[in-house]
Amino acid sequence: MQPAIDHQFTYLLGAGASAEALPVVANFPAKLESFKGRLSSSTPFHNPEPGSTQERLLNDLTGLINNVKFAASADTQAKRHYLQRQERKYSDLKMLLSLFFLVEEAVVRFDKRYELLFAQLLEQDPMGGVKLPGRIKILSWNYDLQVERAMNSFMGLGQGAALFSRLQSIPNVGQTEQIDIALNRFAILKLNGMAGAHTADGPAERYYFEISPQFDEDKLFSMIIKLYAAYLSAPEKVVPDIAFAWETRGIAPYIRKQALRVAEQTTVLICIGYSFPNFNRDYDRQLLGAMANLKTVYLQSHPDTIKEVKERFTALRPKIRDVRMNTDTKQFVLPYEY
């Protein structure tokens, strides 16, 4: 009789994993339009003065909306700026996306499928509090805080540095050093960073918004204005935390290095709502290739896309015999091996 395998589980999340709460590529331009309309009709943006931060933000959003409408996606427009070395336009796009995602996430409750998953994974800690599943790691290509918000609904730590540190969520709003994560603990790694910004010189500070159960629109939009004003006055000092797959500077390389450490110990991979897009192909190949101990793969996607997802995964990581497909859109997969 062979000894039981001490499985290490890695969730790889794409936009589809947050689709019940946040926009995906297909409805992204419409959601941007709605975001701009919501700002325009709010008290802090009522009749903005010429030259004000409010006017500038609304005008910049109009430009972004027009660009995204005529490009294949926001990523495509970002790659155009990147290739043409239009550094200010590239940074502006990332800052506008950060503001958009911060507001979208404040307006809606987190995707309930995260809640269902963590209700099964979390346990009482005999020493008090909540025991996290140390054999599970989450790698996400998303900019959102859906995982953190769902976790916090059980843990009640607030959404500041204490929660990020407890979850080993990177980027960490309270962490300035780039240190190795503890592989024997639960962790969340945002491969493309997250919505928000940080100061690039002097004492490190992160700009993000704690999301209250009581949504205060005017307060949130006033904070948006303050953050955008700080960015406009010193764009070289207020740096968006959003990154793209092709970037080799900033925080993204550190996060992806940590993800490769996670990959090396992974035996079960669960891919949810992730289509393995071409923009991410180089790193995806590196990540999957680092999974030398991989035994089983779960691919969870919409019925209309599951076949293509499997084809793309197999092209990136051939010779995995145990690939299981799941088209359930109501709850996330929890592997039988767990």
CATH architecture assignment, domain 9-19+110-192+248-326: 3-Layer(aba) Sandwich (3.40)
For 101-136, b where at least 16 C-beta lie within 10 A, e where not — what string?
bbbbbbbebbbebbbebbeebbeeeeeeeeebeebb
160, two tokens: 């500041």
Q: Residue range 147-164: average pLDDT?
A: 83
Poorest-pLDDT segment among 23-32, 164-173, 234-243, 249-258: 23-32
**Contact of 228 with 99, CB cutoff 8 Å:** yes
Q: What pLDDT digit, counting tens, does each position of 213-252 carry?
A: 456 788 888 888 988 999 999 998 888 889 999 998 888 8
The secondary element (H helix, E strand) that includes residue 292 is: none
Rounded CA separation 257/90 (Å): 24
Q: Which amino acid is at 190?
A: K
CA angle 63/67/68 to nearest 5° reads 120
**pLDDT on residue 114:** 94
- Reply yes or no: is the peptide bond before residue 29 cis, omega within 30 of 0: no
Q: Going edge to edge, which strands form the sheet with 169-170?
A: 169-170, 187-190, 136-140, 9-13, 268-272, 296-300, 322-326
**pLDDT on residue 96:** 95
Question: How far is residue 7 from each of residues 94, 134, 318, 338, measured CA to CA in Å?
Answer: 37, 11, 21, 7
Quote the pTM value.
0.92
* DSSP strands (E only) in the chain: 9-13, 123-124, 130-131, 136-140, 169-170, 187-190, 193-199, 206-207, 238-242, 268-272, 296-300, 322-326
Binning pLDDT at 50, 70 and 90, where does residue 3 land? very low
In the chain, what percentage of residues exceed pLDDT 70? 92
Task: Please provide residue 87's backbone torsions phi and psi, each rounded to the nearest 5 degrees.
Answer: -60, -40
Q: Which amino acid is at 199?
A: T
Q: Residue range 275-292: average pLDDT?
A: 95
Poorest-pLDDT segment among 81-90, 163-172, 277-286: 163-172
The secondary element (H helix, E strand) that includes residue 111 is: none
Q: Which amino acid is at 160?
A: G
**pLDDT on residue 127:** 80
Please, where in the chain does CATH 3.40.50 lie? 9-19+110-192+248-326
**pLDDT on residue 294:** 97
Q: What pLDDT digit, counting tens, does each position of 186-209 carry?
A: 999 999 998 888 877 654 556 665
